[in-house]
Amino acid sequence: MLEATGLMVFYENMLALNNVSLQCGDNEIVGVFGANSAGKSTLMYTLSGIMEDIRKKEDMAGGERITVLGRIRYLGEDITNLKPSSRARKGIVLCPERRRIFSESTVMENLRIGAYLATPAQTRETLDYVFKVFPALQTLRKRIGGFLSGGEQQMLAIARALMAQPRLLLLDEPLMGLSPLIQAMLVRATSEIRREKSISIIVTEQYARPVLPIVDYAFILENGAAVLEGGREELLSNPDVRSAYFGV
Ligand code: ATP
Domain boundaries in the chain? 2-91+169-246, 100-165
Q: How many helices (H) and strands (E) does the chain have?
A: 10, 10
- Mean predicted confidence (pLDDT) in 153-175: 97
Please state which architecture CATH assigns to domain 2-91+169-246: 3-Layer(aba) Sandwich (3.40)
Residue 248: pLDDT band (50, 70, 90) is low
Query: How far is the C-alpha of 32 from the C-alpha of 226, rounded, in Å?
Result: 9
Tens-digit pLDDT profile for residues 187-220 = 999 999 999 999 999 999 999 889 999 999 999 9
Read off the pLDDT band of 136 (50, 70, 90). very high
71, HSE (Cβ side, Cα atoms, 13 Å): 6
Measured between alpha carbons, how far is 146 from 57 in angstroms, rounded to an integer? 27
pLDDT at 240 over 80: no
Does residue 243's CB lie within 6 angstroms of at least one atom of ligand 1? no
**In whole angstroms, what is the distance from residue 97 CA to residue 95 CA?**
7
For the segment 158-182, the average pLDDT, to the nearest whole number, is 97
Within 8 A by CB and 6+ apart from 186, the residues are 151, 154, 155, 158, 174, 175, 178
What is the Å distance from ligand 1's center to 210 Cα? 23
- pLDDT of amino acid 38: 94
Q: Over 80: is that where the pLDDT of 243 sits?
A: no
Reported pTM:
0.94
Residue 117 has pLDDT above 70, yes or no: yes
* Residue 163 φ then ψ, to 5°: -60, -25
Rounded CA gap, 136 and 133, in Å?
A: 9
Q: Where are the alpha helices (DSSP H) in the chain?
A: 40-48, 50-60, 84-89, 107-114, 120-133, 135-139, 150-163, 180-197, 232-236, 239-241
For a substitution probing ligand 1, which of 7, 13, 14 has the most ligand atoms within 8 Å of its CB? 14
pLDDT tens digits, residue range 16-54?
A: 999 999 999 999 999 999 999 999 999 999 999 999 999
- For residue 142, which of 174, 114, 109 has the smallest C-alpha distance? 109
How confident is the model at residue 98, as a pLDDT?
Answer: 84
Q: Which atom of ligand 1 is nearest to the CA of 9?
A: 16
How many Å lie between the centroid of ligand 1 and the Cα of residue 39?
6
Question: In angstroms, what is the span from residue 153 Cα to ligand 1's centroid?
Answer: 23
Q: How many angstroms separate the alpha carbon of residue 42 from the centre of ligand 1? A: 6
Q: Is 129 in the pocket of ligand 1 (CB under 6 A)?
A: no
For the chain, give the mean pLDDT: 94
